[in-house]
Structure formats: structure tokens, C-alpha cells
Amino acid sequence: MDEANKQATEKSREEDEKPLDGQDPSSISRRDLLKLAGAGGIGLLLGSVGVGSVWAGTAKLGAPAASTASNAGPKQVIPFYDTHQAGIVTPAQDFICFAAFDLTTVKLSEVRDLFRRWTEAAAKMTAGQPVGGEDDQPSLPPADTGEAAGLHPCRTTITFGVGPSLFDSRFGLGAKRPEALADLPRFGGDSLRPEWCGGDIGVQVCADDLQVAFHALRNLTRLARGVAVLRWTQEGFQRTGGSGSAGETPRNLMGFKDGTANPDIHDKQAMNDIVWVQPSEQPAWMSGGSYMVVRRIRMRIEVWDRSTLSDQEATFGRYRSSGAPLGAKNEFDPLALDAKDEAGQPAIPLTAHVRLAHGEGPSEKILRRSYSYSSGIDRQTGQLDAGLLFICYQRDPRAQFVPIQQRLAKRDKLNEYIVHVGSALFACFPGARQGGYIGEGLFE
């Protein structure tokens, strides 16, 4: 090879090794791209970008899988032991695996032991560690199911609560039942199905990776064998951190921003007023805890998709594009409930969802922590089984969630497009201390 050809070959090799235009030096090179194209892999690569943007939140064209290891986000550990349980005022993660359990034992000691095991396991899994010890006994089942091996903690939180049914005659806990843990009334328009309602125990697992969240719930279920069984479960999602602008309000499956009016989770006084049960309230074992309402809300997606934009905006009381209240310009502008449009009618209709959900006083505030869900096809109707796993936290559902939902059930225009098919209420314990276990104040 003459010198000129050699130099040309070296220059071509250097060009092949360079990252694609606009990519960082660790990204895929032209040579790698050509290899993928030659193997028929370019379509797979491009297709995976769409999946990564929605599910992983970190994928980009040309980014190697190992690049996520340098991202501090997936490695972040949210401590399990704290004054309050994590997963309540924690900034919402990308995914949820929610489960309600029914106890099969009638021995309080076995319930106590279950929460001890769950506490130890939850502390490990939220730290990104496997359940149990070293799995090196070929003749025994592994202590950990293994599907999260090598994965980061992904801001996993595990939040535990108990339902009203725990306080029946089985365990002698009736005298310890909080008055605020009163069964939710039946609301107008409810079409509740038993398979989506109730539970002795509620467990909310949230993480920035669905496999990590599923792993946690799966292992908790294994640890409960012989003491509790699953009653119902629901997975959910929102847009991932890498698929939109940082801090942007997520949108629900109707295309509208969901959670704009939430109280500031960084405002300690607001959280004490709205979310956390105070030491002056009874029973004492709930001090520092919160009450969680869960509603599975089916959306009539096909009907909604045939509605005009103006009708959709009048239904919510917000502009779809910006999230601003009707008659305003910005998403976080206050609701001008007295404002009139050009025809002299209320700018925000009297039946608009935001007007009715706004609350009629400072006590009617809740902290929403909801996720979208999609559970395939409803075999009876052939329509999508999709909607919102509505979750909210408060000090007393009787004074907060219940009056809001009663008002919505009567007049909310959104009721034309949704139906409540599931409902549950749980008293979420205060946080556990090192050396103790979750629910210790109730069970000891």
C-alpha cells in the first residue's frame, strides 16, 4: 500500500470511529451504525429509541446501555427508615406497582412477624440490595427472585397501610381503629367491582424502573405466603423523566395535565396541615402517618376521542395545550372562578372538573399521587381498559377526600367520560425507626 492510500485509509478509519454528529464521544460511532445496518439492526435501534424514551427515560439514539450507570438518578437511594414513610411526599417516580392483600391467618403474632419480614426486605430492596443472604445453596430456592440483580435502586419507595377490614374481630384490634379510617361512602355514579376494592393491607411500590418495582412487590408477596394473599394489583405509569422537560406536570390519558393544583410537597407546614396526622390526633400509633385513598377510574377513551377540543377544555376547565385555567394564560395561574367570558357566562363552567375539585375551604385539600394505567382490552366491550389509578393522601378523608368526591359525583361534567370501578382506603403508618419495624405502634 503506497503512502497516499495508507493515509486515506487511516483517515477513513478515524471518521468511522467518530461519534455521529450531535452525539457525545461515548455515543455510537459511524462504524457501529454501519455494522447495525449491515446486520439489519438499524430498525431495531431506531425502534428502541421510542421505547427507551417512554419507559427507560434515559435512552437516546446512539447511547450505549452502560451510559445509564453514570447517571446519578437510577443510583439514588431513598431511605426506608425515616420519620414518615417514603412514597407519600416523595416526588413521584415513573412507575407504580400497587397491591392489596388479604390476611389468611387469624393470629396477630403472625401478622406482626410478617411486617417485621416486610420491613427488613423493604429496607434492602429500596437500597438496591437483594432479599435474604447469599443464594449459594443449589438444593434450596433462591431467597431473592433475581430479576433486579445488577439494577440500580431507581428511587424505589415501598409504602404500607392497613384497611378498615383489619380491625374486625379477627385480631382484637377493634379498639385501635382510627375514627378517620371510616369506610368510604358509596358515591353517585360508582360502578364498583369487588375485584378492585378493599384489602386488609395496601402496599404502594414506586420506582423509576418497572422491573425494579415489580421485583419488590413480587418478593413481598413471596414473604407473605401462609399469612396473606394478593387481593388485587394494578401497575401504572406516567411519562418518564427523560421524555419531557424537567419539572413539567404529567398528562393523563385524556391529554390534560394532571396534578397542577397539588400543594407544595416542600412546604413543611402545608404537609403538616394537609397530609400528616398530628400528635394531638388519635390514635397515637397514627401520629406521623397519613390516610391513602385509592380509586381505579376507568376512562371511556373511545368516547373522549370523538369529543371536540372545546368540549374537552370545558369539561376540565383548563386549556389542553398549556394547562392554564380557562380565561388565564399560564398553567399555575389561580382559578378565576368569578371571571366571565365574552358572552357573560362563567369562564370556567359551573360543571368543570377543576372548579368542583378546587374545594370549598382550606380543609378540602389533598395531595394527589396518581398514575395512568392500561390493562389491555375489556373483553365484554372490546374497548380499551385504561384510565387513572387515582391515589391521594390526607390527614382525614372524611373532611378532605369525601366532600370533594361527593361534589364531583353530583355535578362533574367529566363523569360523562369516566367511571369509578375500584375503591380502597388505607391508614399508612408513620415511618419505621432503625431496629424497629413498620406498624410497630399498632401491633405491639
Residue 231 parent element (H or E): strand 228-237
User: Quick count: other Cβ atoms within 10 Å of Cβ 67?
Assistant: 15
Q: Say which residue the cell 401497575 belongs to.
A: 235
End-of-domain residue from the set 38, 70, 102: 70
Residue 12, pLDDT score? 44
Rounded CA separation 348/336 (Å): 8
Residue 72, pLDDT score? 53
**399 and 279 assigned to the same domain:** yes
Residue 241, pLDDT score? 75
**54 and 187 assigned to the same domain:** no
Rounded CA separation 367/365 (Å): 7
Residue 66, pLDDT score? 30
The DSSP code for 54 is I
Dihedral-angle region of residue 280 (phi above 0 means left; psi in -120 to 50 means alpha; beta otherwise):
alpha
- Mean pLDDT per block of 10 residues along the chain (444 residues) reads 47 43 39 38 32 30 32 84 98 97 98 98 97 84 94 98 98 98 96 97 98 98 98 95 79 93 95 97 97 98 97 97 95 93 94 91 89 94 95 98 97 98 98 97 96
- 155 belongs to a structural domain: no
End-of-domain residue from the set 70, 90, 124: 70
Rounded CA separation 225/179 (Å): 31
Domain range for 277: 161-199+235-443
- 93 belongs to a structural domain: no
What pTM was computed for the model?
A: 0.83
**66 and 191 assigned to the same domain:** no
End-of-domain residue from the set 50, 70, 90: 70
**296 and 402 assigned to the same domain:** yes
Residue 345, pLDDT score? 94
